[in-house]
Amino acid sequence: MPKAAAHPMPTRILCLGATSAIAEATLRIFAERGASLFLVARSAEKLEAVAADLRTRGAAAVATHVMDLDDTAAHPAMLTSASLNLGTIEMALLAHGTLGDQPEAEVSYPAAEAILGTNFLAPVSLITWLANYFEQSKQGTLAVISSVAGDRGRKSNYVYGSAKGALSLFLDGVRNRIDRAGVQVLTIKPGFVATPMTAHLPRSPLFASPDTIARGIVQAVEKRKDVVYLPAFWALIMFIIRSIPGRIFKKLNL
């Protein structure tokens, strides 16, 4: 008789930023496995289109909640609604974020603040509520999309990168606190992904599809990983980049 898995895959999933390309591709995999989903995003039209697609793919149930996730004051009510709808939140996928305008952020504090707010402060608000929820229920997977950009500051995107770096560090601490309660805290670090958010960037062989990233996320959840680089070769690339001495690194155009 096959041995039962110590941690069965989640079937009741909350997704924050559900209309992002990576989130949508990941949700399709869980929908095909019959999961119940609670989706949150800002655009009602896009959200309903994603929900309709997931229903046709086999999701047991799909509920939606329209809101701007930068509105941190509204987080507790939305998260409470999600927990009541799902019964138990078994997994939360945080895919909320924006690349922002680096040149504008270099000369405008409000522009830099907006990037930091969306990519760091709003996730901190969500993670704080969810970490306590999962810790109290002694179960759950908290999967958060960070970025390889957070591994080392580069002139091309250091505002976005600093927000993601701070987010990864925050997740390290949360994991150290609630892992002993049986909660998986997964930091997801994609490299370049071919999504609408990166449509303005020139394509290269380093770009991956959202479907590739989604499969990697699901495998990382299955294996109860702490941190995952997607695709995996980015772990080597970022090791090399982190290893470049500062006196050399500051002269590079990265």
Contact indicator for 19, 47 with CB cutoff of 8 Å: yes
Sheet with 61-66, side-by-side order of all strands: 61-66, 36-41, 12-16, 91-94, 141-145, 184-190, 227-230
Catalytically active residues are 160
User: Which residues, 6 or more positions from 54, have their beta carbon under 8 angstroms from its beta carbon?
Assistant: 27, 28, 31, 37, 39, 62
> Which DSSP helix (H) or strand (E) runs through 156?
none
- β-pairing, 227-230 with 184-190? parallel
Q: How far apart are CA 128 and CA 72, in angstroms?
A: 11
